[in-house]
Amino acid sequence: MTAAEPPASVTPPNDPIAHFQSLLAQARAIDRALLPEPTAMTVASIGEDGHPSVRVVLLKAVDARGFVFYTNLESRKGQELLARPWAALCFHWQPLERQVRVEGSVTRVADAEADAYFASRGRASQIGAWASRQSAPLANDAELTARVRDAEARFAGVTVPRPPHWSGLRIAPARIEFWRNRPSRLHERLLYERAGDAWTVRHLYP
């Protein structure tokens, strides 16, 4: 194919969530030396001043309800996403030459769902969730070490419960765009937009 030859059209999948799950499975099958964190996604939020902020987190669940990650709700991202409950996500899987962009509304997961995921984490990570005042100023490493030791002493010999300020956030997608690399920058872009309980889909220019 040359730059003067348009790529062949494709038939869009009917279900964008199922399509995403298929791509994620492909990403997970790639050698970790080439793709260390296949569930890594960029999350963008908006601050009170109207300025965007962005960071990379790990996707922990995805189904028809949306995309879930877990965080300290008192962190910058937690506060911004709860105050202005709309987020943008981006997945980039370079070995697949694929990118997925998601935009949607944000809600907290149910307590039972958060409890179950927290219980599956390693004990050190559970202690860390209690010790870290995520996004707050930190005087030095000794201060954090002391908070970790305090949490270890507090929960010595018992199951570590989920902190009340730690939970999951679910992004219910209103838009999902699938991008696929093609020669001559004639990339494939498929945009899904929610219409009630269904999805509309259209091709976009690269």
From the candidates 121, 149, 185, 194, give the one annotated as an active-site residue. 185
The stretch 148-152 carries a mean pLDDT of 97
What pLDDT, in 10s, does the model give residues 23-79?
A: 999 999 999 999 999 999 999 999 999 999 999 999 999 999 999 999 999 999 999
Give the pLDDT confidence score for residue 7 in this predicted structure: 60
- Indicate the pTM of the whole model: 0.92
Query: Are the C-beta atoms of 43 and 51 separated by less than 8 Å?
Result: no
User: Is 194 among the residues known to form the active site?
Assistant: no
Can you give the pLDDT at residue 1? 46
pLDDT at 12 over 90: no
Output the pLDDT for position 67: 98
CATH of domain 16-203: 2.30.110.10
Q: State the pLDDT confidence band at 101, using cuts at 50, 70 and 90.
A: very high
Q: Where are the domains of the chain?
A: 16-203
In angstroms, the Cα distances linking 18 to 21, 22, 108, 202 are 5, 6, 23, 17
In the predicted model, what is the mean pLDDT of the chain?
A: 95
